[in-house]
Amino acid sequence: MAMITARRALGWLALAAVSAIVWLALPFATGILLGTLMAFTLEPVYALLVQRSDRPVAASLITIVTSTLIIVGALSAFVTHFVARIVEFANSVRVQLHTGGPLSAWVDAATRWLGRFDISAASVTDRLEAGAGEIASRSAAMAGSVASGAFAVVLGLFFAVLTMHLVLRYWPRMVSAIVVVSPLDPKHTRGLLAEFRRVGRMTVSGTVLTGLAQGLLAALGFWITGVPQPLFFGIATALASLIPAVGTMLVWIPAGVYLFASGHPAMAVVELLWGALLIVGLSDYLIRPRLVGDAAMPALLVFIALFGGLKVLGLPGLIVGPVVMALAVTVLRLYSAEYQHKRSAP
């Protein structure tokens, strides 16, 4: 009896220890989760390097450093270029809104219709100039706020990189340790961890491939309709696909408005239809569920995982939602199989 009591007490202490670790790691949960999923995604590259060099530590470092430099370097270059373009565009709009500028005629035509509501062209032009100046100033302020939050970004990146290294090097040991302490049957624990690994890899690759597909479709649409710098705005669309709720609409709707304002209403309609039907409709409702979802999972649960995760968790929900849904479905399948096995047993 005393031994049973001691085991129960030790079990409660172990549960308290796990809870304390989770509580302390909660501020860095996003970085740890992303690092784990990135390790699952890059594991084939790591395995290939280990096979050729027979040096696991060097292979892990090469995989992590290369992928981190590519992602951080590409994002930094694009953000810098993007902020510079916003400031340049805002200043250009301010110049063109002056009397005799290319946009002043369009503003006059628009405000003649608004004149019925006692709105003058001068007031609209002044407000647009003020708005353009505010965009330019806020872009600079945004760059400053990004720089001030660099410490939090670097800290999250540190935990992501460290997690990637540990998962790449010691995932089999982690699985064995979890199997030992898990209250579930060892085969069920291994099945859940294998499903977590499979779904995590599929979710990350599916999200990236969907963003690339949306960027390519957007760049093609910008080129067809005559939007300046279609490649740049295609990359912007691919990155905007990760933003909750609005996503790619942040890019292709302003592009349509620009075409309309520059005297190309037909191309503006084509751009808006292209964005609604192909960039959003085809990519978000056909390509993404096929890449992120599971053939054995009902389509309803796939959409609930994607949009429910986005609604509850924001941007990380696009990755966390499908992973949680897949694990939940796996648990229910294991429970159903175990229950049927017990009922069929004599």
Structure tokens at 341: 């096995």
Greater pLDDT, 101 or 167: 167
Query: Residue ranges of the alpha helices (H) in 115-227?
Result: 121-148, 150-181, 186-225
Cα angle at 211 between 209 and 216, to 5 degrees?
Answer: 95
Residues 216 and 293 in one domain: yes
90: CB partners within 8 A, 6+ apart: 132, 133, 135, 136, 139
The whole-number average pLDDT for the span 112-118 is 57
- The 8-class DSSP code of residue 258 comes to H
Residue 292 lies in a domain: yes
Residues 121 and 193 in one domain: no
Residue 176 lies in a domain: no
Residue 83 lies in a domain: yes
Residue 302 lies in a domain: yes
Give CA separation, 150 vs 88, 153, 188, 278, in Å: 25, 5, 41, 36
Residue 4 lies in a domain: no
Residue 55 lies in a domain: yes
Cα angle at 284 between 280 and 290, to 5 degrees?
Answer: 150
Structure tokens at 53: 């060099």
Is it the case that residue 258 has pLDDT exceeding 60? yes
Residues 203 and 147 in one domain: no
Residue in this structure with the two tokens 């300046």, named with its chain if needed: 228
Residues 250 and 270 in one domain: yes
Residues 134 and 202 in one domain: no
Burial 238-277 (b: 16+ CB within 10 A, else e): bbbbeeeeebbbebbeebbebbbbbebeebbebbbebbee
Residues 111 and 228 in one domain: no
CA distance linking residue 205 with residue 214, whole number of Å = 14
Least confident among 158-162, 257-261, 291-295, 323-327: 291-295
Note the pLDDT of residue 195. 80
Residue 156 pLDDT class (50, 70, 90 cuts): confident
Residues 85 and 188 in one domain: no
Residues 206 and 133 in one domain: no
Residues 210 and 255 in one domain: yes
Is it the case that residue 35 has pLDDT exceeding 70? yes
Render pLDDT for 186-232 as a digit per residue (tens, 0 to 9): 887 888 888 888 878 887 887 788 888 888 888 898 888 888 888 88
Residues 130 and 211 in one domain: no
CA distance linking residue 186 with residue 199, whole number of Å = 20
Note the pLDDT of residue 116. 57
Render pLDDT for 174-193 as a digit per residue (tens, 0 to 9): 888 888 877 777 887 888 88
Structural domain span for residue 43: 26-171
Residue 332 lies in a domain: yes
Residue 52 lies in a domain: yes
Residues 157 and 231 in one domain: no
Among 110, 143, 171, identify where a domain stops.
171
Note the pLDDT of residue 225. 86
CA distance linking residue 60 with residue 280, whole number of Å = 37
Residue 277 pLDDT class (50, 70, 90 cuts): confident
Residue 144 pLDDT class (50, 70, 90 cuts): low
Residues 167 and 303 in one domain: no
Note the pLDDT of residue 27. 79
Residue 296 pLDDT class (50, 70, 90 cuts): low
Q: pTM value?
A: 0.66
CA distance linking residue 273 with residue 286, whole number of Å = 17
Among 171, 193, 219, identify where a domain stops.
171
- The 8-class DSSP code of residue 26 comes to G
Residue 333 pLDDT class (50, 70, 90 cuts): confident
Is it the case that residue 294 has pLDDT exceeding 60? no
The whole-number average pLDDT for the span 100-107 is 56
Structure tokens at 121: 């062209």
Task: Name the strand (E) or helix (H) holding 331.
Answer: helix 317-344
Number of domains composing the chain:
2
Among 141, 171, 201, identify where a domain stops.
171
